[in-house]
Amino acid sequence: MRKILITGASGFVGRNLVAELKNQGHEELFLFNRSSSIEELEEFAKNCEFVFHLAGVNRPNTEEEYMDGNYGLTSKLLELLKKHNNKSPILITSSIQAEQDNPYGRSKKAGEELLFNYSSETGVEVLVYRLPNLFGKWSKPNYNTVVATYCYNIARNLEIQVTNPEANLTLSYIDDVIEEFTKAFNGNPTKINDYCSVPVSYSIQLSDLAKKLLSFKKSRNSLSIAKMDDALTKKLYSTYLSFLPKDSFSYDLKMNIDNRGSFTEFLRTPDRGQVSVNISKPGITKGNHWHHTKNEKFLVVSGEGLIRFRNIDEEEIIEYKVTGEKLQVVDIPTGYSHSIVNIGDTNLVTVMWVNESFDPEKPDTYFLEVE
């Protein structure tokens, strides 16, 4: 295992990178943060075998700090590596704003040029990543990205500002960035000419981003889960959940309770149906209906039950005994009246999936006793 120097190790990208490198078994990590000293940096620069230079400044108090943080530290790092004749490869995080004529962009561009000149002079491999807006867990609101700010505010019922609704954002997800960095570390970067890039990025309008994140909050009431086959939606949802306040991880469901037990919807999806939890008291029978197109899956997770079927045009009754001691899924075909009865001494708990979310205008449910 190589000794790895990571500057900006406690920042958004740094935290995620450190966590993944540890997952992969890398133990000799030299972590340089704002609280670290130049003496520590020199010791790291003397002994490291690969450099992830992630440290930088993007929201300083003065414009001068841009150049100090994004150019000055890079210059010092290269000076120390050269002093100890350390030819370690260097991966640096720049920004797509390096193409822009603003204080931040100019400071990032200056840092890039330092690296390229250093490479020409020493022959050291340098990997310059011009990153777009990043999002994901451990990002900071009002600092790293608008995604973090929106997630933080929405999760806390705070107002969000959509100043330019039609503005297009280019986003990269932190896990995709870290995957690319580990590939680069292992000698397989995604490189286009002089620069490297994260292969996966997304484009979204600011107004659409706000609507999507707001829908995640509303889903606790509607129980509707967004389509997770859309990669950006899936990654934004994961990011939103990481911003939940520590006292707000849980939420209540509406239990429809009567003398037979209860029925509770758990979640709905736009294309994969819904999941509910049914609880029946001992001796209680539920169901005795059939469907044209709607179909279900029953999974008893606690208690003992008997699921009974009858084709609506036949008299033969089919029975399946189910128990929480042996998890078994029972499909409920169309055209069969069906029921489930609690034959045990404790509550019968059944997880029920149906292929379409309930629509009161088209319930597709017809009463017919199995016997």
Cβ-count burial 85-102 (b if 16+ within 10 Å, e if not): ebebbbbbbbbbbbeeee
Contacts of 209 (CB under 8 A, 6+ apart): 146, 147, 150, 169, 236
Q: Which two tokens stand for residue 192?
A: 């286009």
- Catalytic residue (choose from 66, 71, 104, 129): 104
Q: Give the three-class secondary structure for 39.
A: helix
Q: Which two tokens stand for residue 172?
A: 């990269």
Radius of gyration of the chain (CA): 29
Is there a catalytic annotation at residue 240? Answer: no
Long-range CB pairs of 149-154, under 8 A, 24+ apart, other chains included: 150/209, 150/210, 150/213, 151/213, 151/239, 151/240, 151/242, 151/243, 152/243, 154/213, 154/214, 154/216, 154/217, 154/240
Q: Where are the alpha helices (DSSP H) in the chain?
A: 12-23, 38-47, 64-67, 73-83, 103-122, 146-155, 174-185, 206-222, 231-242
Element housing 261 (H / E): strand 261-268
Report how far apart, in Å, the C-alpha atoms of 100 and of each of 12, 60, 95, 96, 311 are: 23, 18, 10, 8, 70
Provide the annotated active-site residues. Answer: 104
